[in-house]
Amino acid sequence: MLESLRISTLLVTALASSSLMMFASSTPSVGSLAPEFTLNSQEGKPVSLKDYRGKWVVLYFYPKDFTSGCTLEAHNFQRDQPQYKQKGAVVLGVSVDSTDSHKQFCTKEGLNFKLLADTDHKVSIAYGSLTNLGLVKFASRHTFIINPEGKVVKVFTAVNPNKHSEEVLVALADLQRQSPASR
């Protein structure tokens, strides 16, 4: 009896979780305007997407500060900062962690690009990048390349943190070759 109750509870929880995940918004499509936002960075200062109009933006969502995959991904973006700068691109990381968590993460890991705190989940939802497991919510590992006009030009939803920065740099180079006027 107790075992069947436990199995029923697990089944209901799994169904509820999958239902919540099913109704998450979809990612912005290539060619659409990137959803605008303003979030606080690890420095506690507001950062808006519109602040970067005229630049290429790599907007990456990640699950959690201080976890192994997220740390590896952040280190790779940090390592490649000179290449992003050379391409006129800025990297912005977003998770649902707090500004204070981001500040500690950046200090511990030596990160000098902006990490943005989406504590109310609105930006993660707008970008179809919120995983909702009922009581636990976190940003999905998604990345968007946004061109200088503010349009989404590339979407990554199957991200391997080991090699993601390199694949973003390749995609960015290809996109810039295709539209040299927007560099």
Backbone angles phi, psi at 50, to 5 degrees: -60, -20
Catalytic residue among 39, 70, 92, 145: 70
Backbone angles phi, psi at 94, to 5 degrees: -130, 130
| Token digits of residue 112 | 């000098």
Which residues, including other chains, have CB under 8 Å from residue 97's CB and lie 6 or more apart? 64, 65, 105, 117, 119
Active site residue 70: yes
* Closest to 119 measured CA to CA, from 101, 146, 92, 103: 101
In three-state secondary structure terms, 137 is: strand
Chain position carrying tokens 């979780």: 17
Which amino acid is located at 139 in the chain?
Answer: A
Q: Which residues are catalytic?
A: 70
